[in-house]
Chain A
């Protein structure tokens, strides 16, 4: 992360292109990179305001991967237990993904009907496939990570 941020020349192209920075002064990508350069922790709330839309990266003269830097800051914040409220929805989404396969189930009876008539009525993850997926996710440390964030793994959140 520090080698990526060291390529920043503090020109402010990122902040001038950022749609969130236009709406709130609480978010300023140039300032986040400045803090990292000085070895300071960026303000906690700011890292959750980024859209990770890559507009800043596309405008940056050095193509600094700011969305990836924000991603690492979020991961570190969750690991350190500084923040978990921000991602409550996404912990629920994780549960849905690893039980049903998808983030959202058919939103209406009409959608179900349309899918059935269109040959799009794909089965949810069968039990044995789900078990295999969970085993793989455990092997790459995802369950341990969820435990760190929430105190429980998949299906174990109170």
Chain B
């Protein structure tokens, strides 16, 4: 599978990588620049529409209208749209893979996930690594709206997943856990809250039992669910520890020596190096020098 983003490229952050975890967007843009891509940003951000579509409030044609407005009006019909979120990827890739949609909306754009670009360029990026991640134990969650929603999604060299390939390229140690392929629970209709909570708890406890130092993801919605779930479990004293949840762009940026606070925005996570104590802290030099 050829993965590329060239010509006129727009980085579309979506809602959560902009207003909850902006470090995802900052690191994604930095990585794109390192790969020789100078991305533009949309003039304003309009939600991709997935939350209202999954719930049944908006139908397919309504979300397609939003995608068209997003790509044609707010992004100016670029050659490529790069996204950091599985949900935005699901919505925009589905629309932009449809010839009927492209003709109707008069757009030419293709949609690529930043994780795919990192995967395709992992050896090139690994050559630029400034931090040795060999002591870091990484649990992986790719996310259902990437893994299961498309038959042509990247499965990774050994058929496992693209995040494992990336973690290994940077010498990190991948640890397995029982619930590795389970959904995080983020797409559940909020009305069925108690079931959602149990589902997310089972998953998060399985991650924590794996002895991982960090949880590596490629979707801010999954990140938010993991971050909130373990924070709540810790408050209830049902787990002993929390671990940072990193987006793949933040993970690679850290390996490349970029600033964990100013560039990666790790301090904005619920579980962050201030309230967690894993091998990550020593590796990235936390707390930052100016705070000592």
Binding site for B on A (CB under 8 A): 19-20, 23-24, 48-49, 51-55, 57-58, 63, 71, 74-75, 77-78, 85-91, 93-94, 97, 101-108, 110-111, 114-115, 117-120, 122-126, 129, 132-133, 136-137, 139-142, 145-146, 149
Contacts and interface: CB of A to CB of B under 8 A. Distances in A.
Nearest to A54: B148
B47 interface: yes
* Nearest 4 pairs of A and B residues by beta carbon: A74-B56, A54-B148, A53-B144, A90-B55
A80 to B, nearest CB: 12
B22 to A, nearest CB: 5
B42 interface: yes
A101 B54 contact: no
B53 A71 contact: yes
A140 B43 CA distance: 23
A94 B191 contact: no
A118 B46 contact: no
Given A52-B54, A145-B59, A57 B148 contact: yes
A90 B51 contact: yes
Contacts, number: 171
B61 interface: yes
Interface in B46-97: 46-47, 49, 51-59, 61-62, 65-66, 68-69, 73-74
Contacts of A125: 44, 46
Contacts of A63: 151
B205 interface: no
Contacts of A122: 18, 41-45
Given A23-B195, A106-B19, A120-B18, A136 B65 contact: yes
Interface stretch (B122-130, B165-173, B182-190): B182-190
B184 to A, nearest CB: 9
A92 B69 CA distance: 21
B192 A129 contact: no
Contacts of A93: 51-52
Given A55-B144, A132-B73, A103 B47 contact: yes
Given A23-B198, A103-B47, A114-B265, A120 B189 contact: no
A20 B199 contact: yes
Given A115-B22, A120-B41, 17 more contacts: A20-B199, A51-B144, A51-B185, A51-B188, A71-B54, A74-B56, A97-B52, A102-B18, A114-B26, A114-B265, A118-B25, A122-B18, A133-B46, A137-B66, A140-B65, A145-B58, A145-B62
B183 A104 contact: no
Contacts of B195: 20, 23-24, 49
B65 A142 contact: yes
A90 B187 contact: no
A16 to B, nearest CB: 13
A72 to B, nearest CB: 9
Contact of A97 (B47, B56, B59): B47
B117 interface: no
Contacts of B35: none
A136 B69 contact: yes
B199 A19 contact: yes
B52 A78 contact: no
A54 B144 contact: yes
Given A115-B18, A140-B61, A48 B25 contact: no
B19 A107 contact: yes
Nearest to B186: A51
Given A19-B182, A111-B19, A122-B41, A97 B189 contact: no
